Structure 1
């Protein structure tokens, strides 16, 4: 059966379910916000209870949130949260941990070197490369403007 472009588009629209956009946006906002609120609570805990300075508390909170993101990914909980939250789980720092641990978990059967270690940065690698490159570029521009330009 041959379809032209318009017929094929109509066929796809008929067969494809509509996404509940408002519901998806709401879940992403609420769950993403909840993850960020937990991160803030962890930061406050480190500042008030543990007595750390603000910058140190933020670093400790980031490490804690990365740990919990990786732990929940390893326990297959983060994926279940992601089914409801969608992009709400991608934005916080826990989403970054998830993007590193997920491929590693998937390829762990291939061994520690060829599986786990080599696949760990499949998704996060490009983000790291371009993030570091952009930060170096911005640093150079800042240096030129600040120290050479005057």
Structure 2
């Protein structure tokens, strides 16, 4: 009985032939458009806070950040943000809304396990490393800046 196993080169060619071809250009365009749209929405919210509600620039920026975090978390809770992410790819991970999504998603996934062992234990599962390394690198950069300014 002959050996029915294909050799490695035949298998590699078969996999390459059957694998879907990535659409890099389409993905880049969608990421650019959706990411830009999220940023335009944020700018619109900021303009509303400054021109209609008459907040100063700092207060409007803070209120805009809170609004975008709320929208990202709310849309994640409704399941809409995941649909946006499927179409937009990297465009949906704009830092502020993407961060809200990365916190709410694991919390929703583990809600059945209870508030302490489910939600509380898994709330920062994805966002935790980002916070740890972000805060650590900002401290290191701040110390380097301080010592460089001290020397010069």
Trace 1:1-150 onto structure 2 (pairs within 5 A). Answer: 2=5, 4-146=7-149, 148-150=150-152
- Name the CA distance, whole Å, in 1 between partners of 2:61 and 2:5: 59
**Superposition deviation, residue 14 in structure 1:** 1.8
**Superposition deviation, residue 3 in structure 1:** 5.1
Structure 2: 5+ residue runs without aligned partners? none
The alignment's TM-score, normalised by the length of structure 1, stands at: 0.92
Question: SS of 2:49's equivalent?
Answer: helix
Structure 1 residue ranges, 4+ long, deviating more than 6 angstroms after superposition: none
CA radius of gyration, larger in = 2
**Superposition deviation, residue 11 in structure 1:** 2.5
The alignment's TM-score, normalised by the length of structure 2, stands at: 0.91
CA RMSD of aligned residues (A): 1.4
How many aligned positions are there?
149
